[in-house]
Structure 1
Amino acid sequence: AWACGEQHTPPARLGAPTSPRPAWWGGPEAAASWAPAGETGHQAPRARRPRAARRHGVQHASKQIAADKQYKGIVDCIVRIPREQGVLSFWRGNLANVIRYFPTQALNFAFKDKYKQIFLGGVDKHTQFWRYFAGNLASGGAAGATSLCFVYPLDFARTRLAADVGKSATEREFKGLGDCLVKITKSDGLRGLYQGFNVSVQGIIIYRAAYFGVYDTAKGMLPDPKNTHIVVSWMIAQTVTAVAGVVSYPFDTVRRRMMMQSGRKGADIMYKGTVDCWRKIFKDEGGKAFFKGAWSNVLRGMGGAFVLVLYDELKKVI
């Protein structure tokens, strides 16, 4: 959803050349959730990276590409990226993606299990279904929001690097992950690395609430949840991941546009804030603009479904 309808001159580059156990840790039971979460987490990002690059390309086209040269869709993006920027551009920003992915998944699953103890303690899923469902939604949303506080700067850097177009290093704004973090920090301070955080946390609460909450509820209502066939679990996970991704995608669109403004000055600032961003996108580009790149995101979500299923399977043996 980055294909902005306005003409926009590419902005100038940024500056040149052992202690007491914390209460949230939760002891051995919580620790057990970190291992399978980390194992499942590091498997997915490398395989999903080209799809993520295509999604960023479609979303961010207008910021650094003239209006008459913007991507027309996923296929056009797939064809033009290797021709104009080189095949390796599909993996641009992947280091930040891999670095953030392990702690993100580990934190999400660990916090989710901890929050479930808080929200679902003493709840009978058969006699108190709606409370059980609401507790699962709350656990997933709270876990996503808490995790985001820790990993957001890496997610920010991943987005900026993926959208940093140009065939050669001299044509690009950032040289790599470290350069991106340093330049943004010098320009805007640490606050710059959290640009778009407000809308991000709203979107992640919705996404993780559906991603974890609906999946856990659906699995929990099966006759024998612990012995459910892996194919059934995957079908549930895939459906949940696709729906969660589409529902939360408008927030993702706004989040990325706000991220792309960090480090910009004066006329390069298109949006005064999150509300202004929502308003201008809808006014200038229509409601469909919020969902540009959503199909690629659904395909990319297959990795998320795999993580859910693999996590459940690993918990059976750990």
Structure 2
Amino acid sequence: MVGFKPADVPPTNCIKVVGAGTAACVADLVTFPLDTTKVRLQIQGESKSVNSVTSPKYKGVFGTMVTIVKTEGAKSLYNGLVAGLQRQMSFASVRIGLYDSVKQFYTNGSDTITIGSRLLAGCTTGGMAVIMAQPTDVVKVRFQAQLNLTGVNKRYSGTIDAYRKIAKEEGLSGLWKGTLPNIVRNSVVNCSELVTYDLIKDALIKYNLMTGLCRPSCAWGRGMW
């Protein structure tokens, strides 16, 4: 590290992984009600009633959020938050935090990084992240879909209970339901997001477009961040 200023020292893989997971958790805390709203809208119409209690009707994003709050309480917007945070720590930390290292692996440490290598890295970390985090995603969605209405028996009493019941009733494979389409989806998303970010970041650094604006972050940008 001789000759490097503190701001010029590239972040370690550990810092990248923890930083990516933590940032994703913060984002999840802010956007979780919208995610719950999305799930409710997606499953609407799957069944006309639950335990003989008519399910509420949802109309639009804002309307769905208002209906959930009125019928189930504001807390229901955060159903499955624990599993959601578990998902982000295991998903984003791999998908984003390991991207730069995997990219270097595909280029054998070369200074010349092709778009092909970036795409391969995006697909690899996207697929790895899904395989690792799929159980947490399944539990999160099950909680978000669960109604908190009077007269409706809750299937899962807690996050650990959900993992246990799914594994017991559906087998361990039940925790990995939807893995293949999720791998395909997230590989495409990862390539689109991270490769685009990577190319823009390299252009900013190459042509000194951000010089003087945020000098300390330039060294951070030499890595994934």
What interval of TM-score do these two structures reach, taking the shorter chain for normalisation?
Answer: 0.7 to 0.9
8 Å Cα contact 2:103/2:120 also seen in 1 = no
1:140 and 1:124 map into 2 onto residues whose CA distance is 15
Larger radius of gyration: 2
TM-score (norm 1): 0.55
CA drift of 1:188 comes to: 2.8
Out of 38, 44, 63, the residue aligned to residue 164 of structure 1 is: 44
Out of 176, 182, 186, the residue aligned to residue 60 of structure 2 is: 176
8 Å Cα contact 2:103/2:117 also seen in 1 = no
1:265 and 1:245 map into 2 onto residues whose CA distance is 35
Alpha carbons of 1:276 and 1:287: their partners in 2 closer, same or farther (altered >3 Å)?
A: same
8 Å Cα contact 2:79/2:144 also seen in 1 = yes
- For 2:13, the equivalent position in structure 1 comes to 133
Which runs of no fewer than 5 residues in structure 2 stay unpaired? 1-5, 48-54, 205-225
1:267 and 1:184 map into 2 onto residues whose CA distance is 15
2:77 and 2:182 map into 1 onto residues whose CA distance is 23
The Cα offsets for residues 28-67 of structure 1, whole Å up to 9 and x where unpaired, read as xxxxxxxxxxxxxxxxxxxxxxxxxxxxxxxxxxxxxxxx
2:165 and 2:85 map into 1 onto residues whose CA distance is 21
8 Å Cα contact 1:211/1:241 also seen in 2 = yes
Query: Does the residue aligned with 1:165 lie in a helix, a strand or coil?
Result: coil
Q: Which has the higher helix share?
A: 1
Alpha carbons of 1:123 and 1:159: their partners in 2 closer, same or farther (altered >3 Å)?
A: same
Out of 70, 87, 91, the residue aligned to residue 203 of structure 1 is: 87
Query: Does the residue aligned with 1:213 lie in a helix, a strand or coil?
Result: coil
The range that moved more, 171-180 or 188-197, is 171-180
User: Are 2:170 and 1:263 equivalent residues in the alignment?
Assistant: no
2:114 and 2:32 map into 1 onto residues whose CA distance is 35
Query: Does the residue aligned with 1:272 lie in a helix, a strand or coil?
Result: coil
8 Å Cα contact 2:127/2:183 also seen in 1 = yes
Query: Does the residue aligned with 2:156 lie in a helix, a strand or coil?
Result: coil
Out of 71, 88, 111, the residue aligned to residue 187 of structure 1 is: 71
TM-score (norm 2): 0.76
Q: Sequence identity, in percent?
A: 26
8 Å Cα contact 1:195/1:262 also seen in 2 = no
The Cα offsets for residues 94-116 of structure 1, whole Å up to 9 and x where unpaired, read as xxxxxxxxxxxxxxxxxxxxxxx
Alpha carbons of 1:254 and 1:145: their partners in 2 closer, same or farther (altered >3 Å)?
A: same
- For 2:201, the equivalent position in structure 1 comes to 315
- For 1:56, the equivalent position in structure 2 comes to none
Alpha carbons of 1:317 and 1:122: their partners in 2 closer, same or farther (altered >3 Å)?
A: closer
8 Å Cα contact 1:166/1:172 also seen in 2 = no
Q: Kindly tell me the number of residue pairs found equivalent between the two proteins.
A: 191
CA drift of 1:247 comes to: 0.8
CA drift of 1:317 comes to: 3.2
8 Å Cα contact 2:32/2:78 also seen in 1 = yes
The Cα offsets for residues 201-259 of structure 1, whole Å up to 9 and x where unpaired, read as 0111110100111102233565345x411111000110110110111000000001111
- For 1:276, the equivalent position in structure 2 comes to 161
8 Å Cα contact 1:145/1:204 also seen in 2 = yes
8 Å Cα contact 2:28/2:85 also seen in 1 = yes
The Cα offsets for residues 250-291 of structure 1, whole Å up to 9 and x where unpaired, read as 000000111111433333311111111111111111101111
Query: Does the residue aligned with 1:140 lie in a helix, a strand or coil?
Result: helix
Query: Does the residue aligned with 2:13 lie in a helix, a strand or coil?
Result: helix
Which runs of no fewer than 5 residues in structure 1 stay unpaired? 1-119, 126-131
- For 1:218, the equivalent position in structure 2 comes to 102
Task: Give the 5 Å matches for 1:93-132.
Answer: 123=9, 132=12
